[in-house]
Amino acid sequence: MNVLQEIPALNKEIGDQVRSYINQLTKPVGSLGRLEEIAIELAEMTASPFPSVTPPGVIVFAADHGVAKEGVSAYPQEVTAQMVLNFLNGGAAINVFSRQIGAKFTVVDVGVATDLKGEGLISKKVRYGTENFCEKDAMSIEEAKQAVAIGYEQAEAMITGGIKCLIVGEMGIANTTASSTILALLSGKEIESLVGKGTGIPDEKLAHKRDVIQRALSARNPDVNDPLDILSKVGGLEIAAMAGAMLAGASHRIPILVDGFICSVAALIAKLFNPRVVDYMILGHRSKESGHQVAIDMLGKQPLLDLGMRLGEGSGAAVAFPLLQFATKMLSEMATFSSAQISNRHDPSL
Ligand SMILES: Cc1cc2ncn([C@H]3O[C@H](COP(=O)(O)O)[C@@H](O)[C@H]3O)c2cc1C
Ligand SMILES: O=C(O)c1cccnc1
């Protein structure tokens, strides 16, 4: 397994074929708007004129964050482990949405702070949570590498199992702090515009959260061009694994449906490993977490939905998934002007 495996270029030739085919479908040119663009993007990613996105696969990576000790989340650290059990019992939002979209679903413990067992849990604990990165590096470079590799392998296993679209989610109390720290570093923007309330901390805690991030950045000072240095100094194990999973998706021409804030930051880390990975991403939604727009701009894409969601777990991507299905079904099931014997526009070449 090589996480730096080459990512193939998009197949623009097939994209062009699909673009002209869409103009022959029984509708005014361009009238299905963004769905038409999605169909073309999926064709370019999969190198198929009639792409399929079913079944989708959802992988939730769970890990803890030492920086939770700084009081940066509205919930206690043990919620990470408790939510993993909830995922295994099928009671979390992402379980409900995964069932709704017919997704294959797995949960991977890549670094929860306590011992965890449960039927169906994939135990790949690299360490028991990260260090508090205000005090020391979150993890070693070797551990960051391991977490990226675990993500890559888990996504590959799902792809071998037949999934046609990849959704990566996360669970990790305090991971909006780790993600905001990474984003501040990558964007070079003022912390004020990047740091949000995560699980819903009160206003007075927001200033403290920003201060924690500022202190961490000064103390750790990661190399902005080196994804492993960033992950080891201020990262999260689940963020590393998500980046690895996305690299695997792109290497196998599997479209990646990106979730909210945390997932977009992981996508930016994946981009540092290989910029081409972004070609295989579709942004599912705009999270309410402030800072997401900065990450969205850095990925250079428009999210499909804006529902005021701010959960994570892969939930926003799962909710957006049916739009990809609509796009593929439009291509494969709509009649053309000639097959349905409908008169085309006055000048079909326009
Ligand atoms: C019950 C519960 C379920 C969740 N599912 C996702 N998150 C989300 O909230 C956490 C990030 O927010 P912060 O940085 O403020 O801790 C992550 O675990 C994220 O996945 C949850 C949070 C809670 C409390
Ligand atoms: O958009 C997200 O990923 C998000 C937002 C708030 C809390 N957890 C995750």
Asked if residue 64 lies in contact with residue 129, where contact means CB atoms within 8 angstroms, the answer is yes
The position carrying tokens 């000048």 is 347
> Which atom of ligand 2 has the smallest separation from the CA of 289?
5
pLDDT score of 3: 75
- As a whole number of angstroms, the distance between CA 221 and CA 234 comes to 9
Reference 258, options 230, 300, 308, 213; nearest CA is 300
314 lines ligand 1 (CB under 6 A): no
170 lines ligand 1 (CB under 6 A): yes
- Structure-block tokens of residue 182: 């990474």
Instruction: Kindly report, residue by residue over 10-26, the tens digit of the pLDDT.
Output: 999 999 999 999 999 99
Buried b (16+ CB within 10 A) or exposed e, 172-186: bbbbbbbbbbbbbbb
- Structure-block tokens of residue 322: 């049916």
Catalytic site positions = 313
63 lines ligand 1 (CB under 6 A): no
pLDDT score of 195: 96
pLDDT score of 1: 57
Residue 5's pLDDT band (cuts 50, 70, 90): confident
* CA 142 to ligand 1 centroid distance, Å: 27
pLDDT score of 350: 58
199 lines ligand 2 (CB under 6 A): yes
Instruction: Kindly report, residue by residue over 167-180, the tens digit of the pLDDT.
Output: 999 999 999 999 99
> Which atom of ligand 1 has the smallest separation from the CA of 199?
15
Asked if residue 255 lies in contact with residue 42, where contact means CB atoms within 8 angstroms, the answer is yes
> Which atom of ligand 1 has the smallest separation from the CA of 94?
5
How many percent of the chain have pLDDT more than 70?
A: 99
Cis peptide bond prior to 55, omega within 30° of 0: yes
Residues 6+ apart with CB under 8 A from 33: none
Beta bridge pairs of residue 121: 107
Q: Which domains does the chain have, with CATH numbers?
A: 56-322 (3.40.50.10210)
> Which atom of ligand 2 has the smallest separation from the CA of 259?
3
Instruction: Kindly report, residue by residue over 36-81, the tens digit of the pLDDT.
Output: 999 999 999 999 999 999 999 999 999 999 999 999 999 999 999 9
Q: Is residue 349 pLDDT above 80, yes or no?
A: no
Average pLDDT, the chain: 97
- As a whole number of angstroms, the distance between CA 279 and CA 246 comes to 11
Phi first, then psi, for residue 184 (nearest 5°) are: -60, -45
pLDDT score of 116: 97
73 lines ligand 1 (CB under 6 A): yes
Q: Is residue 307 pLDDT above 90, yes or no?
A: yes
Give one DSSP letter per residue of 1-12, joined into a string: --TT---PPP-H
Average pLDDT over every residue of 212-226:
98
pTM: 0.98
Amino acid letter at 32? L
The position carrying tokens 């909210």 is 260
Task: For residue 180, give the ligand nearest its CA.
Answer: 1
Q: Within a 13 Å sphere around the CA of 314, how many CA atoms are in the beta-carbon half?
A: 36
Instruction: Kindly report, residue by residue over 247-296, the tens digit of the pLDDT.
Output: 999 999 999 999 999 999 999 999 999 999 999 999 999 999 999 999 99
Amino acid letter at 148? V
Which spans in the chain are helix H?
Answer: 12-22, 33-46, 78-89, 93-100, 141-160, 175-187, 203-220, 227-234, 237-251, 261-273, 292-299, 315-333
Whose alpha carbon is nearest atom 9 of ligand 2? 312
* CA 34 to ligand 1 centroid distance, Å: 31
Q: Is the predicted ipTM greater than 0.90, yes or no?
A: yes
